[in-house]
Amino acid sequence: MATDCLTETRKIHLPEAMGKCICCSCNGWLLIVDDFSFPCGMHLLNIFSRTQILLPPSSSLPISFPDPHDKFRSIHFQCKLLLSGCPTVSDCMILLLLAHGSHDESTCAIAFCKPGDESWAWFLCKTPDWKISDAILNNGSIYASRKFPPAVISVKEDETIPVPEPILTHNIDGAFLVNSLNGHLLLVCYRREDPDGKLFDVFEFVISTEECNEVNDLDGCTLFMSPNGNHLAKTGNLETSFKGNCIYFFRHSEGDYLIYDMETRHSEIVPSRGLPGDGSSLILWVNPDV
């Protein structure tokens, strides 16, 4: 499988993010933290238009650090940005999935605001005996996944989330959610090792029936994944070396880049030296079409 896609890159300079922390991204927007100390200012930056949206400060988030010198960056791998639309529109809902709640009984919290709000509102995700692995917005509703064992469930404020029916019986290393191109959800289950080389199990979650069905290809699309955001794209008609029915996955903990062909189950690992960084940087996929 060709890996020359890594050489087809160009740098985009972001002076607006100089000296600040880029935490995660969604639909072409970066979540920027203005100061590494807590509390700190926050805003969104569109990587292409350079539009900036001021967000409420982190002091209204359900995060607490006993040591005032702790850094906000300590949670950025466990913070995910969700947008209901374009944040330049006043009724856009901006959500953060936070894995660090300020209450012991909480495994995570969801904070939300609209452009112009002065503070974050938030609620705890009530998930007895299981922990949220990922979350996503679909038609105004929040869906979450769990990892042990993998499953998908709807999340609502002030409602205890029931233990969902497992989809797989074996343990996995990641359970990621992606919006499919037909309005449903994809649950992507990843494991680092498999004797048959099947590193990914992909299921389509049908919203109306809440049923999960395994899929063996991506209908020619390409899936770009990282722990901070995932994107399914049609690449068949584009002049690019990215292959259809393949998953391109940045693995931060391993410091490498995994390319997985769903048809052949062939996988290729590109070490960190092949990436446009030193392997310790936060690497995000950013979709320019949204």
CATH number at residue 116: 2.120.10
Q: Note the pLDDT of residue 117.
A: 95
Report the share of the chain in percent with pLDDT over 90.
Answer: 22
CA distance 125 to 242: 37
Q: How many domains does the chain have?
A: 1
The whole domain housing 111 covers 4-274
Residue 140, Ramachandran bin (φ over 0: left; ψ between -120 and 50: alpha; else beta): left
pLDDT in tens, the chain (290 residues): 233 344 455 678 888 888 888 888 888 899 988 865 666 889 999 988 999 999 998 888 877 544 545 554 444 446 789 999 999 999 999 998 886 433 344 457 889 999 999 999 988 777 666 677 888 888 888 888 887 778 788 887 766 666 666 677 777 888 899 988 888 899 999 988 888 888 999 999 888 887 888 998 898 889 988 766 777 877 655 566 788 899 998 877 777 778 999 999 999 887 755 454 444 456 677 765 54
Pairing mode of beta strands 246-251, 221-226: parallel
Q: Note the pLDDT of residue 288.
A: 59
Q: Note the pLDDT of residue 35.
A: 67
Inside any domain, residue 281: no
Inside any domain, residue 284: no
Inside any domain, residue 185: yes
What is the per-residue pLDDT across 231-261, written as a single tens digit (0 to 9) for each?
787 765 556 678 889 999 887 777 777 899 9
Q: How many helices (H) and strands (E) does the chain have?
A: 0, 20
Inside any domain, residue 249: yes
Q: Note the pLDDT of residue 160.
A: 63
Question: Quick one: tokens of 279?
Answer: 């392997």
Inside any domain, residue 180: yes
Inside any domain, residue 287: no
Written as one letter, the residue type at 84 is S
Inside any domain, residue 164: yes
Tell me the Cα Rg of the chain.
19
Inside any domain, residue 86: yes
3-class secondary structure, 109: strand
